[in-house]
Chain A
Amino acid sequence: MSELIKVGMADLNICISPDSITTLGLGSCVGIAIRDPVTKIGGLAHIMLPDSTQIRNNSNIPKFADTGIAELVRQMTAKGANRSRMVAKIAGGAQMFAFQNKSEMVRIGERNVEAARKKLAELKIPILAADTGDSYGRTVIFYPENGDFVIKAVGKPQKVI
C-alpha cells in the first residue's frame, strides 16, 4: 500500500516510492519538490518567505526558502539520497490579490520563487519544471517514483509537469 504524505504550510517532509507527497492550497507560498531518481527518495517543502537572514524570528526552518531547501536536502541525504543526482520541480508563488499593500510584501510570491531558484542553483540541483506566478492557488502532489508533479487549481484542468 502506498501512502500519501501531507505537508502543511511552513513545513517539509520526505518519502520513498511508492509513497507520494502533497501540499494543499499553495498561494504565494512555494512548493519545492526534490527527487533522487535512483533511490526514488523524494521530498517536498512548503516555504512561506524567501530569506531567513532578513527576519529576526527565524527559528522555524521550513518557513524560509533558504533554510527550508537546505533542510530538505539534508533529510533526503540522511535517508540515502545522493545530492549530485537530485533534481527539482517547483510550483506556487502566486499573487493572490490584484492589490497587495506594503512595499516589502509586494511580489512576495515572485520573491519566494526567486529565492527557491537561487538556493537550488547554489546547491547545484537543476530545476526540471516549474509552474509559478499568476493569481490562483495550487494543490500539488509529487510522485518520487517517476518525478511526476501533479498540479490542481480551482476551475482549471489538472496538469502534470
Chain B
Amino acid sequence: MADLTLETMSQEYYDVLKELGNIGAGNATTALAQMLQCKVDMSVPQVKLLEFKDVATLMGGEEQLMAGIYLGVEGDINGSIMFLLEQKSARHLVGKLMGMPIEGDKFTEIEISALQEVGNIITGSYLNSLSMMTNLKIYPTIPSLAMDMAAAILSVPAIEFGVIGDNILLIQTQFFDEIQLDGYFILIPELESYVKILSSLGISVG
C-alpha cells in the first residue's frame, strides 16, 4: 500500500473519478443554470493523468490567465480540491451573474466575491457527488481564490501530487451556455484517503 502511486493506480480509481466527473459536473451544471437562469450544457468529462509539464499546456500554456479556487476537505477523508477556469470564462460567468459585462482587466472586490461564490457552488457540487457516491462525510474548508498564470496556480496541486509521484490527475469538463467554458477539477486526497474512497465503493485495494 505504501508504494501506491498514481502511475500504478487501479483502473477502478479512474472509473470512480469518471463517475465523479459525470455526477459532479451534472450537479454543477444544474446549479450554474439555476444561478444564471439560463440553459447550461456540459460535455462528457474526461479523466486525465498528465505529467506536470503537460498540464499547463492542456489549459492553453503556462502563462494562460486562470482563476483557481482551492479548498481543503476534512471529515472521513482528508485532502484538497481545486477548480480552475480560464479567466476569460470566469469573467463571462461573473458578468452573467451580475447582469452586466465585466470591463477592463481587473476584477473588482464584488466581482471577486461573485467568482468565489461560483467556485463554491461548483466545487460543492463535486464534493456532494463524492460524498453521496461513497457515503463518506466530506466537509469543505473555506475556499481561497487566486487569479494568476496557469502554471503558478497549478504549482499548488502539483506540489501535493509531487509528494507521491510525477503526475497530476484531473477531470476536464466543458460547460456551454453561449460560449464554451473549460473547467478543470482536481481532487487531491491524502494517500490513506484513496483507499477509503475505493473501499467505501466496495473496491478492494490490493
Pairs A-B, 4 closest by C-beta atoms: A137-B152, A25-B151, A27-B155, A101-B72
The DSSP consensus for interface residues of chain B is mixed
- The answer to whether A29 has its CB under 8 Å from any CB of chain B is yes
Number of A-B contacts (CB under 8 A): 121
A27/B162 in contact, CB under 8 A: no
Q: Contact partner of B163 among A27, A49, A97, A155, CB < 8 A?
A: A49
> In the complex, how many angstroms separate the beta carbon of B175 from the nearest chain A beta carbon?
23
- The answer to whether B1 has its CB under 8 Å from any CB of chain A is no
Which of A10, A25, A49, A100 has the largest count of B CB atoms less than 10 A from its CB?
A25
Contact (A49, B159) CB under 8 Å given A10-B52, A25-B56: yes
Contact (A25, B146) CB under 8 Å given A9-B158, A11-B53, A97-B156: no
Instruction: Known A-B contacts: A48-B162, A99-B141. Give 16 more (CB < 8 A).
Output: A8-B52, A9-B52, A9-B56, A10-B52, A24-B149, A26-B155, A27-B148, A28-B159, A96-B70, A96-B155, A97-B144, A97-B145, A99-B71, A99-B72, A102-B78, A154-B147
B interface, size bucket? 35 or more
Chain A residues with a Cβ closer than 8 Å to the other chain, count: 34
The answer for the CA separation of A25 and B163 in the assembled complex, in Å, is 20
> In the complex, how many angstroms separate the beta carbon of A138 from the nearest chain B beta carbon?
7
